[in-house]
Structure 1
Amino acid sequence: MHAGPPYPHFDIEGHWEFILIGLSRFQAEYGIAAITVTTHGAAGALLDGSGTLAAPVLDYEYTGPDTLAADYNTLRPPFSETGSPRLSMGLNLGAQLHFQFATDPSLKDRVAAIVTYPQFWGYRLTGVLATDVTSLGCHTDLWNPYKGQFSSLPETLGLADKTAPARKPGDLLGPITAEIALRTGLPAATPVYCGIHDSNASLLPHLTAQEPPFSVVSTGTWVIAMAVGGKPVTLDPALDTLVNVNAFGDPVPSARFMGGREHDLALGESIVAASDADIAHILHARVMLLPALASDSGPFAGAQSRWIGGEPPLGTGRRTAAMGLYLALVTARCLALVGHQGPIIIEGPFAQNRTFLSMLGVATSSPIVPMGSATGTSQGAAQLIKGQSGPKSGYDAWPPPSDERRTLMQDYAAVWASETSRHVGR
């Protein structure tokens, strides 16, 4: 990451060199049959007529777009059109674009094409311009998930003719360029697929393997709860609910919070595993963290965290236990907001957190299915390649706690909900 100027932005050429070296090594050692790309959302790239960057790729945690929030808010489409909540910083890609063009009057003349971030790398590999529906449907304000087409915003911003065509993640972009083949040793006909937003990559294998209703919780820096075939609900953008768009172009009610960020803020670098005794102590003493450590987003946005029952010291299993319970209860709240029904599949690092898994099962009264691999995003991206299949259904559910532990967790969850309601005011 570069601090600037003109704003914090990604080290694109450093990333590109890393990608090319990786492709060369994988080709030499294993052979590569096809390429697909998955990245985080809330990012895009502005290309000039020669295909190079017309401006750096902005870091979505940069606060610059907030300085123009009042102007942008008059331009953006309503939630009813986009399913996209109004977020701070650059978390709405539309707000990024508005900021970039408003602060650099010459930029619009220099930009020939706008691509979403996974497709930027696809373009570097193939020379083919595209956006994809999952990245456009990731709270960008640029997509109408109900009609499966661009929202009114690109036209409002005067960018409709510059935004690359929207494609499905599994569409074939084309073969790699001759230059890439020469540089990496890959066969010249190596196909590159369009690419996908990371949380939707985690969702994809389960869409092809599970019968609805079910939910997938993708965990990492963001915890994204996605309900498939759940109860009808009215989404509230003030609670950071939104509509994601899956790999088939269908809308998916979703809610999210920065669970991984909160985990790291609470525990620091000295993480000690929670023992059964640690968990029991926290439950009996009702030591709990109220939301929110990362207060810019999530169902409790705007609230400032506090401990009740005493704050466990850093570097202790009791603090780890309390944090696992907290993350499960916020996740349960997210799932309720999107109408969750059925089993809950956990992707990513929280699938290894037994306190989280047990409390989430108790709080939602649902079977919890942790995925053993931490590479659900990679697996989903690989499944875009034609002929690849997802995992088989019939996953192993996490064992429920003992009756005594379940009762303790139920009581703890009830107290947490009551205290949180008083603390947050909703």
Structure 2
Amino acid sequence: MKAVAVFDVGKTNVKLIAVAPDGRPLETVSTPNPVFPGPPYSHHDLDLIETWLIDNLRTLGARHDFEAIVTCGHGSGGVLVNDDGLAMPMIDYEQPLPPEIVAEYAEIAGSFRERGSPLMLGAAHLARQMLWLERGWPEAFAGARAYLAHPQYWSWRLSGVMASEVTSLAAQSHLWCAPDARPARLVAEKEWQRLMPQFAPAWATLGPLKPEFAAAAGLKRGIRVLNGIHDSSANFYRYQAAGLDDMTVVSTGTWIVAISDRQGPDFAVEQPALCCNADVLGQPLPGILVMGGREFTAVKGEAEGPASLEVLDRILDSRTMALPFFGTDDGLFPGTARSGTIEGPLAADPAIRFTLAVLYTALLTDCCLDLVETANVVLDGNFVRDPLYGRVVATLRPDRTVLASRDAYGSVAGAALLSSHEARTTPVALDFDRPAILDDPRLPAYAAQWRQRANARRPR
């Protein structure tokens, strides 16, 4: 059977997945994506990852007939390249930047509409990475050919063809003004146009897999290499390909990313955690971005799941609460970074921690859903594996259709479906659960009190 090889580069792990043409994962291999210390700064070793990729294309290619390769990844990875390869190592997006770069960038970054996201932690924005590279390593920057979002870096490495792509640059890069579907003014002001190759759609075939890579991986000639896509936009595309609309898709993992196809937010006005992504056609997708996975880990501690209704009953009775934010991202509640706390009679009880973590991330998700009142909510990703997560969200949003995807690889499925974008004539099939609403009036009251207390923690 024909298959698509999806190369999914996350902050923590790298995966190569053989995917059926209808989006069903067939086989997965993965490896950690370590961060190495400087010099010159904390970075990812792309040569190491490339060796792993070719080795595992050989492994999976022995069992699957690949007809295309497509890359996807998070929105905070960028790579400065010259004609031969890396001009500088890929910056770890949690790398703190020098204070003078932070200050200069704040002066030049432009309006919220231009940026499409708040000013986030560390080196999260490709434009801020570029400013640091330009100031800190001027010769390398001046001699570079392009600055590629990392899905397009890998597409270039595999095909030899450089291209830009709208979903990757609309994902908090600050290089693309997604509400207006144009480059951010900062690009022209800094004369960075030379580093941005011509745009191509996410589904565009850039070329065949380079012959030397095909030979090294033992693969046939002519395997198509697609331009690639931002991971959350890939996940959203999966539901678009199924014919859904009027929806907010909540992707969960390291980040909670809620994006919607219904317009509503005023992008002239900055709001906490608000951002603007784009779909594969370049249409703006209002969204909310919160580092929920790190919060979940901080609250659960050493506890193991699953969450239980019995423990939830104890938490609601005692009004024990996890209050934001434990990590460096303060998203929805600005000014609360690193001040997260667990308060209430059961705060010291390790037996409640996993269920409390599930409840806490469901409450964060509920706040994200304030973005726009779409008819449909689709929950997707790691958090959905625990049924209580979906049940809490559904209970707090009884007026919406809440669906929980049974597929833990939503972005991978969406990326694979790009290979059939131009040939597809019917909607793709999806597999959902509809979480049952909890018949417990204490939960909405608890959520209202939690919001009040979380907001009270914001500096005045």
Question: TM-score range with shorter-chain normalisation?
Answer: over 0.9
Relative to 1, partners in 2 of residues 1:330 and 1:425: Cα closer, same or farther, differing over 3 Å? farther
**Shift of the alpha carbon at 1:306?**
2.1
Q: 1:396 maps to which residue?
A: 433
Deviates more, 1:292-301 or 1:98-107: 292-301
State whether residues 40 and 197 of structure 1, in contact with CA within 8 Å, keep that contact through their aligned partners in structure 2. Answer: yes
Matching residue within 360, 371, 374 for 2:405: 371
Q: 2:4 maps to which residue?
A: none
Matching residue within 265, 282, 287 for 2:298: 265
Structure 2: how far apart are the matches of 1:300 and 1:128?
Answer: 42
Relative to 1, partners in 2 of residues 1:114 and 1:398: Cα closer, same or farther, differing over 3 Å? same
1:22 aligns with 2:61: no
1:34 aligns with 2:88: no
1:343 counterpart letter in structure 2? N
Equivalent positions of 1:174-323 (< 5 A) are 174-229=207-262, 232-235=264-267, 236-303=269-336, 304-313=339-348, 315-316=350-351, 318-323=352-357
Structure 2: how far apart are the matches of 1:396 and 1:357?
Answer: 9
Structure 1: how far apart are the matches of 2:405 and 2:242?
Answer: 13
SS at match of 1:224: strand
Structure 1: how far apart are the matches of 2:281 and 2:174?
Answer: 19
**Shift of the alpha carbon at 1:425?**
5.5
Deviation per residue, 1:160-192 (Å, 9 max, x gap) = 112122222111111111111211122221101
Q: 2:28 maps to which residue?
A: none
1:16 counterpart letter in structure 2? E
In structure 2, stretches of 5+ residues that fail to align are 1-34
SS at match of 1:239: coil
Structure 2: how far apart are the matches of 1:260 and 1:82?
Answer: 24
**Shift of the alpha carbon at 1:314?**
6.5
Deviates more, 1:272-281 or 1:327-336: 272-281
State whether residues 296 and 360 of structure 2, in contact with CA within 8 Å, keep that contact through their aligned partners in structure 1. Answer: no
2:342 counterpart letter in structure 1? W
Identity fraction in percent: 28
Please report the RMSD computed on the Cα atoms of aligned residues, expressed in angstroms. 1.9
State whether residues 94 and 124 of structure 2, in contact with CA within 8 Å, keep that contact through their aligned partners in structure 1. Answer: yes
SS at match of 1:237: coil
State whether residues 307 and 386 of structure 2, in contact with CA within 8 Å, keep that contact through their aligned partners in structure 1. Answer: no
**Shift of the alpha carbon at 1:234?**
2.6
2:266 counterpart letter in structure 1? T
State whether residues 306 and 386 of structure 2, in contact with CA within 8 Å, keep that contact through their aligned partners in structure 1. Answer: no
Deviation per residue, 1:123-154 (Å, 9 max, x gap) = 11110001211110001110021332211222
Structure 2: how far apart are the matches of 1:186 and 1:297?
Answer: 46
SS at match of 1:253: strand
**Shift of the alpha carbon at 1:216?**
0.4
Deviates more, 1:5-14 or 1:346-355: 346-355
Relative to 1, partners in 2 of residues 1:65 and 1:174: Cα closer, same or farther, differing over 3 Å? farther
Relative to 1, partners in 2 of residues 1:340 and 1:393: Cα closer, same or farther, differing over 3 Å? farther
Matching residue within 70, 84, 89 for 2:122: 89
SS at match of 1:277: helix
1:134 aligns with 2:171: no
Q: 1:416 maps to which residue?
A: 450
1:355 aligns with 2:392: no
Structure 1: how far apart are the matches of 2:345 and 2:39?
Answer: 44
State whether residues 116 and 130 of structure 1, in contact with CA within 8 Å, keep that contact through their aligned partners in structure 2. Answer: no
Relative to 1, partners in 2 of residues 1:65 and 1:250: Cα closer, same or farther, differing over 3 Å? farther
SS at match of 1:385: helix
Q: 2:415 maps to which residue?
A: 381
Deviates more, 1:34-43 or 1:204-213: 204-213
SS at match of 2:87: coil
Structure 2: how far apart are the matches of 1:182 and 1:272?
Answer: 45
Specify which structure has the higher proportion of helix. 1
Structure 1: how far apart are the matches of 2:146 and 2:133?
Answer: 14
Deviation per residue, 1:35-57 (Å, 9 max, x gap) = 10011111111111x33101000
Structure 1: how far apart are the matches of 2:233 and 2:334?
Answer: 23
**Shift of the alpha carbon at 1:295?**
4.1
Structure 2: how far apart are the matches of 1:399 and 1:419?
Answer: 27
Deviation per residue, 1:261-315 (Å, 9 max, x gap) = 1111222344242222111110111111111112424111321222221354474
State whether residues 70 and 225 of structure 2, in contact with CA within 8 Å, keep that contact through their aligned partners in structure 1. Answer: yes
1:220 counterpart letter in structure 2? G
Specify which structure has the higher proportion of strand. 2
TM-score scaled by structure 2? 0.87
Deviates more, 1:272-281 or 1:13-22: 272-281
Deviates more, 1:101-110 or 1:267-276: 267-276
Equivalent positions of 1:63-142 (< 5 A) are 63-64=96-97, 66-142=99-175
Matching residue within 173, 184, 189 for 1:156: 189
Deviation per residue, 1:81-113 (Å, 9 max, x gap) = 332322221111100110111111212222112
**Shift of the alpha carbon at 1:77?**
2.4
1:71 counterpart letter in structure 2? E
Structure 1 ranges of 4+ moved more than 3 A: 235-238, 310-315, 387-391, 393-396
**Shift of the alpha carbon at 1:246?**
1.2
SS at match of 1:114: strand
1:401 counterpart letter in structure 2? L
Q: 1:58 maps to which residue?
A: 91
